[in-house]
Structures are given as structure tokens and as C-alpha cells.
A and B are shown apart, each in its own frame.
Chain A
């Protein structure tokens, strides 16, 4: 039984290409064709989808202009929802049931967080705010790595376990009994896509926003240092 690895579909220039990669390509083509079709026939649906994603992102991210972040987060959301629900179709497997896909997605989020932070505050200005007292740098590095790993493992574990449970129940009782579990895995897929986007937005917000507490903290710290210098000079 293959749970953690997927079968190799074919070899491309000597490199093995797994079946989930082929599923991702199918999904990309389907999404692009679907969007082009909707754009030609009924553009109002696209507007509704964009409004929905803007609502999700705007709940967490407090910036004036949301549109620079929309291209990344919106495409992640659409891709994740359709990828999580792809295993409903017989013969297809979810690309996100493969650990490689989710690690790639969380790496994209990891690098884009720093990219947006540097874009907003400048390279040096961002690096200064990453670890404010410099001795907290190791903790910050550990936090960055562990949250990226958790982001990948959460998505993979949820989708894979949903598919696995449905497969096990299906092998025992193939009729009607798997239906509630399929519903549960559908709900899990949508909720996990939502959570992935919310967490990615949260990480971007923590890199982009200059919080009032930070500013106040820096000012009071400077004041304290100054007072200490004054008292040292007096004594």
C-alpha cells in the first residue's frame, strides 16, 4: 500500500515524474480553460470569486492596497480548493496528497513572505525588524522553519488521511457507507484551503505590518537607554 510515495508515471530526461505531477498539469490546464470560458460567458462570477478572496485576505491583513498580494493568495486558494477536491473524480488523485507538492507550496509562501517584507520596508529595514533584539535571532529562525514545515505537513496530513480513510472504508463496504466520509473529506479540503490562505496571509501580515506596539517598544527602549546613560553620567 502506497501512502507516503506515489507511483512513477514516466521518465522525463532521466528524472522520474510522479503521477501527482501529471495531476497538477491536468489541473492547471482545466483551471485556465475554465477561467477563460467563464470570462467569455459570464464575467460576474469571476468578480464574485475575487470579492470572496479579498474578504478572506482583508480580514487578516490591514494594509491600504490589497491587490499586490491578491495574485499570490488568490491563485493559491483556487489551486488548493480544486486540488483538494480532485480526488472526488474516480481515477484521479489529489496533488496535495503528495508531500512534495505541499512542501513546494509552503516554500513559495516562505520566500514570498520575505519578498513582500523587503518590498514594503526595504532590504535593510526589513532585516532590522526580523529580530529586534539581536539575541532573539536563533528563536526567530527556528520559528520560521517550524511554521513552514507545519504548513506543509498540515495540508498533506489532512488531505492524505481523508483519502486514506475513504479508501479503507471503500475496501470494506463499497456501497453508500463511504458517503459520509467523502462528505467529511470534502469539508476538510475546503477548510484546509481556507486555513492555508489565512495562515499565509497572517505570515505576510507579520512581515509587512509595522505594528504600533513595535514602534512604542522601540521608543521606550531608547528612552530607557538614554535615562540609563544620563544616570551613569551623573554617578
Chain B
């Protein structure tokens, strides 16, 4: 570890953090989206008349849940492709 240059070390840590962060950040919203879909399907089965309204509301809710997913993805992409630490301290 001591033999590595600081830039290399930052890159290695960034890649590790990105992998773990994407895994965690994708698991939780996906679980919650599945939960929303299950609930919507149950209520459609119980009340087929209101299927259209339930579907619209479910899609909106899922889009809102997916926003946190997208935030994680954007943060990880910034870390990978435009890392502020690397460009600031080690000149790219």
C-alpha cells in the first residue's frame, strides 16, 4: 500500500466505493419499487374498475422512487468519470 502513488490510491478507493455504493443504492429502491408494484397489483385485483387510476398513480410513485436510484447513479458516474479529488489534487 505504501508503494502506491497517491493518485493510484485515490483511483482504487474510488472504484471500490463505486462498486459497493451502486450495489447498495440499487437494492433499496428496487425493493421499494417491487413493494409498490405488489400493492398496486393487489388493489387492481380487488377493484378492477379503478385499474386505470391505480396504474397512473403507481407509475408516478415508481418514478418518484426511482429518482433516488438515479441520484446514486449520477454520484457514482461523477466519481468515476469526473472525480473532483483526482482533478484537484493530482491534476487529472
Evaluate contact between A59 and B73: CB separation under 8 angstroms: no
Number of A-B contacts defined by CB within 8 Å: 43
The B interface is mostly helix, strand or loop, or mixed, namely helix
Which stretch, B10-18, B30-38, B62-70, touches the partner chain A?
B62-70
Evaluate contact between A154 and B67: CB separation under 8 angstroms: yes
Evaluate contact between B56 and A158: CB separation under 8 angstroms: no
Tell me the bound Cα distance from A216 to B71 in angstroms.
38
Residue of A with least CB distance to B77: A3
Range for the number of chain A residues in contact with chain B: 10 to 19
Cβ of B78 within 8 Å of any chain A Cβ, yes or no, is: yes
For residues 47 through 76 of chain A, which have their beta carbon under 8 Å from a beta carbon of chain B?
A: 59-60
Q: How many residues of B contact A (CB 8 A)?
A: 18
Evaluate contact between B60 and A198: CB separation under 8 angstroms: yes
Evaluate contact between A154 and B56: CB separation under 8 angstroms: no
Cβ of A161 within 8 Å of any chain B Cβ, yes or no, is: yes
Chain A contact residues, CB within 8 Å of chain B: 1-4, 59-60, 150, 153-154, 157-158, 161, 191-192, 194-195, 198-199, 202
Chain B contact residues, CB within 8 Å of chain A: 52-53, 56, 59-60, 63-64, 66-67, 69-71, 73-74, 77-78, 81-82
